Homo-oligomer: A and B are copies of this chain.
Amino acid sequence: MATEAAGEIKVGAKPTMHYVLATVIQFNQGIKRVHIKARGRAISKAVDAAQITVSRFLKDKVEIKDVKIGSEEVGEPGKTRTVSTIEIVLEQTEK
């Protein structure tokens, strides 16, 4: 059951390593796929977190399966602005 679930990590203002560890913990709990999401300036940090996870902590165990970029409207009605988004899908390589 647990191995079928997908996790989600929202990258924000905390240090990169916080999100790396949160991702590693989810995989160690048996989750098969983790979506790392970020908006705006946090996008660079999301890419860092994904890279550190797959190339250092979970090397050969987890791979980058997909990267999607998009945009979202944020802010209150009348003064919205558009921010870019990223979603990086990490998946276990082993069954």
Chain A residues with CB under 8 Å of chain B are: 40-44, 47-48, 50-51, 55, 64, 67-71, 82, 84-86, 88
Contact = CB atoms under 8 A, between A and B. Distances in A.
Instruction: Specify how many copies of this chain sit in the oligomer.
Output: 2
Contact of A69 (B51, B71, B84): B51
Contact of A64 (B47, B50, B69): B69
B51 A71 contact: yes
A71 B59 CA distance: 14
Best-buried of A44, A71, A88 by chain B (most CB within 10 Å): A44
A30 to B, nearest CB: 25
Contacts of A88: 69
A85 to B, nearest CB: 8
26 contacts: A40-B44, A41-B44, A42-B44, A43-B43, A43-B44, A43-B47, A44-B44, A44-B84, A47-B69, A47-B84, A47-B85, A47-B86, A48-B84, A50-B69, A51-B69, A51-B70, A51-B71, A51-B82, A51-B84, A55-B71, A55-B82, A64-B69, A67-B67, A67-B68, A67-B69, A69-B88
